[in-house]
Amino acid sequence: MKQRDFIFNICLLVFLNLLIKPFWILGIDVGVQNRVGAEQYGLYFAILNFTFLFNMILDMGITNFNNRNIAMHSQLLSKHFSGIVTLKILLGIIYFIVTLVVALAIGYRGFYLKILCWTALNQFLNAFILYLRSNLSALLMFKTDSCLSVLDRLLMIIFCSVLLWGNITTQPFKIEWFVYCQTAAYSVTALTALVLVLRKAHFTKLSWNPLFFTMILKKSLPFAILYLLMSFYNRIDSVMIERILPADIAAYEAGIYASSFRLLDALVMIAYLFSVILLPLFSKMLKEKEDLSQIIRTSFSLLFFFSVTSAILLCFFRFPILGLLYNEHISESAAVFNILIFCLIPFSMSYLFGTLLTAHGDMKQLNIVALAGICVNIAVNVVLIPRLHAVGAATASLATQSVTAFLQILIVLKKLKFPIKNLPLVSAFSYLVLLVFVALSAVKFIPRTIDPFITLSGLAVLACVLAFCTRLLSFSHFDVFKIGNIKK
């Protein structure tokens, strides 16, 4: 039953996110930018990124710790909920004070300060929603959590669409309206999530207990450190490009890297959705000493298929894809993208094996791996960026992600004594070889007069056929969609 539940819930989560979030990004976000202009949107974007700088204060690793802890000990929800809610509010106040003080110190005033305060409130609401959702996913309420994961964006789409195209006002759209729409959407989502969690927790009043706060922060600290370390080596490349290269080319090369990274970043979010379900599922199964082999094998097969197929096909068709997205510097971006897109494969493996180690409580090992990733990233960047510029940073990123994913797999095999024979490695290798052969053949023999996106679509369908032929994927994985298998 867990196998069928897992497949259904991951498909539901991915489907809902693909249904809502592309329209949010390409429709609403772009629509707002076009309506208010680059200057006003740039103001908002700069302030948004500024508020992100202090986001760790809002969470301190509590969400991931809580997800694992409640999944393993569901009875602790009622005991911990009131105390953690109080702690989250306290951290929110500290976050707001720190953000405001730093903003004033660097010169934010007037309208800028107004937008910053509302944006900081939105960050708090979003962090609070993530905490509330961690309780629902820890209780394995994945369908409810999946719906909540897109509710805020759905509400923003509705609110912004009315203001953008509803002709309800004669005034031109203002950037602050966009921020207010986010506040309204986050507030409704937070209230909905709170009501759902309160139905499971016996909450009476907020609890002020400094000893409890200290205990939670101490237990959450390894999760917070891991988040910081991973954020560092995942995002430092563009900073090092800007810092290492001469001023006359630094911004250009950073822009080339950013244009190549954008599509990878979007695809990584699909792999991340697996970890949202796997963390509480692994935690509960480990607590109950259940066999993880089937879930790990299925997750590996799905993530390997998704990441390898996406990386190879996008690599072979990088020029038409980048040409569809951008108007300039296609060749330069393609050279970086050609390397960077393969980071998707180790990223996906980390979301499987790193999540398993997190559920098992191996935070020390994960933090050591993250430190190793930082060392590899900095060393390779320092050597290659002066010579290869953005291509060197892409190479450093691929090296870093590959090393950290490999180390995580080794730890799982050694510490958890997971038999490597339980992974479909023969099927995975066979699929990889066949897909590369088919893609090479298509590029070489299919006439260029045929639309490349038609060829790409045909290869995507053929990739699915190859996955089933090599038994990387099995029809039994999708038995959940047969009538009668879904009980809830």
Residue-by-residue DSSP string for 331-390? HHHHHHHHHHGGGHHHHHHHHHHHHHHHHHT-HHHHHHHHHHHHHHHHHHHHHHHHHHTH
Look at residue 477 and tell me if it is in a domain.
Answer: no
Whether 478 shows a pLDDT value over 60: the answer reads no
pLDDT score at 1:
43
Whether 323 shows a pLDDT value over 80: the answer reads yes
pLDDT score at 79:
86
Per-residue pLDDT band for 195 (boundaries 50, 70, 90) equals: very high
DSSP state, 172? P
pLDDT score at 482:
45
Q: Does 124 or 44 have the greater pLDDT score?
A: 124
Look at residue 176 and tell me if it is in a domain.
Answer: yes
* 451: three-class secondary structure by DSSP: coil
DSSP state, 291? -
Q: Mark whether 52 and 199 lie in a shared domain.
A: yes
pLDDT score at 347:
94
* Most confident by average pLDDT, 53-62, 241-250, 356-365: 356-365
Residue 177: which of 168, 17, 190 has the closest Cα? 168
Task: For residue 182, give every residue at least 6 positions away whose Cβ sits within 8 Å of its Cβ, in sequence order, or none.
Answer: 122, 152, 156
Which of 366, 392, 422 marks a domain boundary?
A: 422
**Which tokens in the block code for residue 135?**
């309780």
Q: Does 196 or 106 have the greater pLDDT score?
A: 196
Q: Does 289 or 460 have the greater pLDDT score?
A: 460
* 419: three-class secondary structure by DSSP: coil
pLDDT score at 112:
83
pLDDT score at 488:
38
The answer to whether 297 and 377 are in contact (CB under 8 A) is no
Using left for φ > 0, alpha for ψ between -120 and 50, and beta otherwise, residue 407 falls in alpha
Q: Mark whether 55 and 143 lie in a shared domain.
A: yes
Query: CA of 158: how far to CAs of 281, 437, 469, in Å?
Result: 33, 46, 43
What is the overall mean pLDDT for the chain?
Answer: 86
φ, ψ dihedrals at 243, nearest 5°: -85, -35
Residue 155: which of 36, 30, 24, 41 has the closest Cα? 24
pLDDT score at 477:
58
Rounded to an integer, what distance in angstroms lies between the CA atom of residue 479 and that of residue 7? 9
* Most confident by average pLDDT, 266-280, 341-355, 438-452: 341-355
Rounded to an integer, what distance in angstroms lies between the CA atom of residue 342 and that of residue 359? 26
Whether 432 shows a pLDDT value over 70: the answer reads yes
Q: Mark whether 172 and 35 lie in a shared domain.
A: yes
Q: Mark whether 241 and 362 lie in a shared domain.
A: yes
Q: Mark whether 143 and 3 lie in a shared domain.
A: yes
**Which tokens in the block code for residue 250?**
């630094």
Look at residue 451 and tell me if it is in a domain.
Answer: no
Rounded to an integer, what distance in angstroms lies between the CA atom of residue 404 and that of residue 348? 12
Rounded to an integer, what distance in angstroms lies between the CA atom of residue 434 and that of residue 336? 25
Q: Mark whether 16 and 114 lie in a shared domain.
A: yes
Least confident of 45-59, 102-116, 397-411: 45-59
Per-residue pLDDT band for 94 (boundaries 50, 70, 90) equals: very high
Rounded to an integer, what distance in angstroms lies between the CA atom of residue 398 and that of residue 346? 8
pLDDT tens-digit profile of 123-160? 999 999 999 999 998 888 888 988 898 899 999 999 99
* Most confident by average pLDDT, 205-219, 239-253, 393-407: 393-407
**Which tokens in the block code for residue 276?**
């949202």
Q: Mark whether 278 and 412 lie in a shared domain.
A: yes
Q: Mark whether 133 and 191 lie in a shared domain.
A: yes
Which of 422, 443, 467 marks a domain boundary?
A: 422
Rounded to an integer, what distance in angstroms lies between the CA atom of residue 387 and that of residue 393? 10
Look at residue 472 and tell me if it is in a domain.
Answer: no
Look at residue 126 and tell me if it is in a domain.
Answer: yes
**Per-residue pLDDT averaged across 421-440, rounded?**
93
Rounded to an integer, what distance in angstroms lies between the CA atom of residue 28 and that of residue 71? 36
**Per-residue pLDDT averaged across 278-306, rounded?**
89
* CA within 13 Å, CB half, 29: 12
The answer to whether 33 and 58 are in contact (CB under 8 A) is no
Look at residue 329 and tell me if it is in a domain.
Answer: yes
Q: Mark whether 195 and 286 lie in a shared domain.
A: no
Look at residue 453 and tell me if it is in a domain.
Answer: no
**Percentage, residues of the chain above pLDDT 90:** 41
* 165: three-class secondary structure by DSSP: helix
pTM for the whole structure: 0.79
Look at residue 128 and tell me if it is in a domain.
Answer: yes
Which of 375, 404, 422 marks a domain boundary?
A: 422
Domain span at 329: 223-422
Q: Mark whether 126 and 5 lie in a shared domain.
A: yes
Q: Mark whether 198 and 250 lie in a shared domain.
A: no
Q: Mark whether 180 and 254 lie in a shared domain.
A: no
Structural domains in the chain (count) = 2
